[in-house]
């Protein structure tokens, strides 16, 4: 669906405005899709992100700072999210025996199981949407998005 149809507007002040609106709409679209996909797993997209970060580094652990640096949503309250994941038994705090002030976070076996199931659901739904693009188009779009972010 074209952005003009999605937001029921035929005029944009500029191509730049149309692009930014289209990016925001598409990000919101996938955000809602992912939220609904994760509802049965009782985790948020930010919690999903933390579990994927930890699974990718398992069996090693990360500090809270390292997790925060790897988060997609930099505005997330990582400490609060970790607390919720601990309550659900999906991650655990590990106190360093050499320096008790250092606390790392690791994923539990339950967390690994849940992230595997949630990732499978996310991947299936995402692939249905991305099947409209060729692999070359996906690479091109990803490169263009990278190019837009001036850091």
Residues 64-101 have pLDDT tens digits of 889 999 999 877 899 999 999 999 999 999 987 777 77
Pairing of β 62-63 and β 91-95: unpaired
146 belongs to a structural domain: no
Q: How many domains does the chain have?
A: 1
Residue 141 placed within a domain:
no
pTM given for the model: 0.86
Distance spanning both ends of the chain, measured CA to CA: 31
142 inside domain: no
Q: What is the CATH number of the domain that holds 125?
A: 1.10.10.10
Q: Considering the domain boundaries, does residue 150 fall inside one?
A: no
Q: Which domain holds residue 104?
A: 3-129
Q: Is residue 144 one of the residues assigned to a domain?
A: no
Per-residue pLDDT tens over the stretch 9-59: 888 999 999 999 999 999 999 999 999 999 999 999 999 999 999 999 988
């Amino acid at each position: 669906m074209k952005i003009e149809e999605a937001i029921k507007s035929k005029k944009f002040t500029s191509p730049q405005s149309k692009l930014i609106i289209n990016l925001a709409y598409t990000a919101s679209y996938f955000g809602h899709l992912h939220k609904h996909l994760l509802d049965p797993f009782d985790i948020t997209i930010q919690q999903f992100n933390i579990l994927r970060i930890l699974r990718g580094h398992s069996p090693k652990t990360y500090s809270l700072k390292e997790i925060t640096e790897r988060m997609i949503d930099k505005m997330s309250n990582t400490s609060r999210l970790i607390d919720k994941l601990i309550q659900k038994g999906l991650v655990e705090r590990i106190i360093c025996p050499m320096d008790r002030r250092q606390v790392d976070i690791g994923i539990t076996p339950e967390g690994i199981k849940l992230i595997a199931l949630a990732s499978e659901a996310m991947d299936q739904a995402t692939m249905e949407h991305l099947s409209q693009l060729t692999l070359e188009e996906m690479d091109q779009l990803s490169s263009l998005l990278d190019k837009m972010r001036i850091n």
